[in-house]
Structure 1
Amino acid sequence: MAERQIGNVRAARADNPLAAGWYADPEARIFEGSYWIYPTYSAPYDEQTYFDAFWSEDLTTWNKVERILDIERISWAKRALWAPSSIERGGKYYLYFCANDIQSDDEYGGIGVAVADRPEGPFRDALDRPLIERFHHGAQPIDPHVFIDDDGQAYLYYGGWQHCNVVKLSDDMLGLGTFDDGTTYKEITPDRYVEGPCMIKRGGEYYFMWAEGGWGGPDYSVAYARSDSPLGPFERVGKILRQDPDVATGAGHHGVFVPEQEDGDWWIVYHRRPLTETDANHRALCMDKMKFGAGGEILPVKMT
């Protein structure tokens, strides 16, 4: 068992992988005092038709909630549900997700949003259509990540094909707002970005993270940038998570458990491929400590 620090109390946390089965692209949140992980069910696209979730009160025992949202409850989704991102606002829980793996504006799909009264769902499609259904600035509409800033403004970061956009979300979390210049979609792509955006805030500074490399290969990894604005500019600092030939390969597309106090423990939750696996879809949920240096830099994560 590894350990975590809660005040002056030390408690064990589960060994990696955290759960049985193949899962990927985890979002990590703390809801109602419990730790929640919302991942992709990792399978061939035509089988990837639902979301499970995992929760824990102590990081040691993880409980599975099955099918919090499935394709039968999404009228416009036909295949390939993945990369969910969750958030709570006003007593409601919102789950942003992508479906159909569209390759151009001639196809129908993109990023949707579902809503529930509880973190475990069941979630229902809130719009009966995608929230974002077209390509903007070259970004495939996939891999959403939702972030609410201290001033209450909610942002959705998303994008594949080496382009990342950010949009403002409306107060009801179901629509898109506009920026001061009148635009809706703002490209913020940092150097070497591929997909899987993630935003956290620490000490008044914004840390924007993303996945690099190919998701099906061993070199999948996580890099980051720092900025004084949620809109950037974001200049790449470097990698913080990568394969370890003694542990696992393909480590990437992550979420972060943000502590209530900044001097608390930060945990990065990610997927990786066991050394014994060659199937691209054989990915496992894992978690490791994420530490910061004296200058606020994110230190390289040691996989355990």
Structure 2
Amino acid sequence: MMKNAFAILALCLAGAGVAADVPTPRWDLPGAGNPLLPGYFADPSIVRDRGRWYIFATIDPWGDDRLGLWQSDNGRDWTFSTPDWPTKQAATSPTSGDAKVWAPSVVQARDGRWWMYVSVGNEIWVGTAPSAGGPWRDANGGKPLVNKAFAPKYHMIDAEAFIDDDGQAYLYWGSGWNWTNGHCFVAKLKPDMIGFDGPVRDVTPANYFEGPFMVKANGRYYLTYSDGNTTKDTYKVRYAAGATPFGPFEEGVTSPILQTDAARQIVSPGHHAVFRSGGDPYILYHRQGLPFDPAGTEVKRQIAVDALRFAADGTIAKVEPTHTGGAVTGFAAARTRGLRWQASGTAGDPLHGPERAADDNYATLWKPLVGRPVTLVADLGKSRPVRGTRLRPEYATKPYRFRVEASRDGRRWTPLAADAVRTGSPIVVAHPTTTRWLRLVFADAADVGVFEWTID
């Protein structure tokens, strides 16, 4: 089966114009740390507040009427929610386009409050909260900070706030249309974090398309950004350096620093955030979920994290993208695992069999072929006490109707948790019992997918 799985992936990459004669892929090994999150998300922003990590992200495919928010105390086990703000309904103006909620940037200002700059309807909106976890509220009287008509030739999206060492805040934003002609704008923010203190400047560096992120290191200002097409294999991260937050910016000799790597099965990494933990820098970014669809009919991006290094010569070193997940200082070495179990049940294709729900890898998932009923069976090896289920479904925002059953002999099944519609990630279901076999029974085969089933 593994040989067939690799062949399918190689064909996908070859169809995208990437060489098929690559080394044996390592993306689907058990226990992989990247992707960091179970599901399809993009354009991440990461902050730490009161000992907890928060990742804000676009919900794929192509956004949602809400924003995705993941929280973790250890950097490895994440819980999904959607903040009250922004929503497509609450952040819409007479000039808004039809684009969904995209690309959040979250920072803490010198007054201690938290601020979010987010793209909704091809416009930039600003919200605020007393803590990173919320409650989030609109901060500009129900109006966009930058409306769609500000520069009609360009996309008013991908706002990213940067706070300098002296506490002064700046806002960078801008993209192009039809995957070309991206432009980067910047303005100094007033102390209220809403108004612009001075003119908006065009600071577009070479090979810029979208996703600006300003980083300061060793006294230099590094404008990092993406170019290419996120739906293809051309998306990548570049950088340009300057002496001030306004530049001028000159692209670095080591740029691009992160791009498609067929040998490692990394496709179209980009739209990133740079953060520090324990003083060490890291890059959090999205890349295409695997197997990659070269036709671009689906946009299923996943969030990954790897080490970043600012070199002594003023350049940024090439990023080595991994499937193990960069060993982030302060993050747990691995995710919390429940009981070990052997999987069986409704079959999937060679890449999506039942065993994928028990391999502790968020790049892989069980996705059964159409058939009813749809079941996933866990054999615990012997009769033992269990407390419940933590299910990480393919889509954290979609409803899944299922029940949980138990068996001591693998033939006769007793209901433990009633048939019900559930959402979230993880979906937590308590069902204390002593048993050897557990079974999930889904009411409908349509769009069932499970990244991981953790049994406690």
**Residue of structure 1 in register with 2:193 after alignment:** 173
Paired residue type of 1:289:
A
CA contact (8 A) 2:226 2:271 kept: yes
Partner AA of 1:177 in structure 2? D
Contact 2:40 2:289 in 1 (8 A): no
Specify which of 97, 102, 110 is matched with residue 118 of structure 2: 97
Aligned to 1:63: 79
Deviation sequence 1:4-62 (CA, Å, 0-9, x none): xxxxxxxxx981111111100111223334332211111245xx211121233332222
How much does 1:150 deviate? 1.3
**SS at the partner of 1:248?**
coil
Contact 1:254 1:271 in 2 (8 A): yes
Q: RMSD value over aligned CA atoms?
A: 2.0
Distance 1:50 1:140, change over 3 A: same
Q: Kindly report structure 1 stretches of 4+ aligned residues shifted beyond 6 Å.
A: none
C-alpha separation in 1, matches of 2:317 and 2:221 = 16
Between 1:277-286 and 1:154-163, the stretch displaced more is 277-286
Q: Which of 134, 137, 161 is 1:124 aligned to?
A: 137
Corresponding position of 2:221: 206
Which blocks of at least 5 consecutive residues in structure 2 are unaligned? 1-30, 177-181, 323-456
Instruction: Give the match for residue 283 of structure 1.
Output: 301
CA contact (8 A) 2:36 2:303 kept: yes
Q: For 2:70 and 2:37, locate their aligned partners in 1 and report how far apart those are by CA, in whole Å.
A: 8
1:250 aligns to 2:271 (yes or no):
no
- 2:127 is matched with 114
d(CA) in 1 for partners of 2:132, 2:38: 21
CA offset digits 1:135-185 (Å, max 9, x no partner) = 33944211000001112211000001110000111111111110xxxxx21
Q: Which has the larger radius of gyration?
A: 2
Gap regions ≥5 residues in structure 1: 1-12, 102-109, 179-183
1:252/1:30 Cα in 2 relative to 1: closer, same or farther (>3 Å)? same
| Alpha-carbon distance between aligned partners in 2 of 1:85 and 1:224, rounded to the nearest angstrom | 18
Contact 1:33-1:57 within 8 A present in 2 as well = yes
How many angstroms apart in 1 are the aligned matches of 2:236 and 2:49?
A: 27
* Aligned match for 1:80, one of 100, 111, 114: 100
Q: Distance in 2 between matches of 1:294 and 1:44?
A: 39
Quote the offset at 1:251 in angstroms: 0.5
1:29 aligns with 2:47: yes
Q: Deviation of residue 271 (structure 1)?
A: 0.2
Which residue matches 1:6?
A: none
Q: Kindly provide the amino acid, as one letter, of the partner of residue 130 in structure 2.
A: D
Give the aligned partner of residue 292 of structure 1: 310
- Identify the residue that residue 56 of structure 2 maps to in structure 1: 38
Measure, in 1, the Cα distance between the counterparts of 2:150 and 2:116.
Answer: 21
* Residues 83, 91 of structure 1: alpha-carbon distance in 2 compared, 3 angstrom cutoff: same
Q: Structure 1: how far apart are the matches of 2:249 and 2:47? A: 24
Q: Which amino acid in structure 2 is aligned with residue 30 of structure 1?
A: R
Deviation larger for 71-80 or 25-34? 71-80
Q: How much has 1:259 moved relative to structure 2?
A: 4.1
| Matched letter for residue 93 of structure 1 | W
State the TM-score, normalized to the length of structure 2: 0.57
Q: 1:52 aligns to what? A: 68
Return the offset for 1:117: 1.6
Counterparts of 1:100 and 1:174, CA distance in 2: 19
Kept in 2: contact 1:217–1:280 (CA 8 A)? no
> 1:107 aligns to what?
none
Query: Is residue 267–residue 292 contact of structure 2 (8 Å, CA) maintained in 1?
Result: no
Deviation (angstroms), 1:123 = 1.3
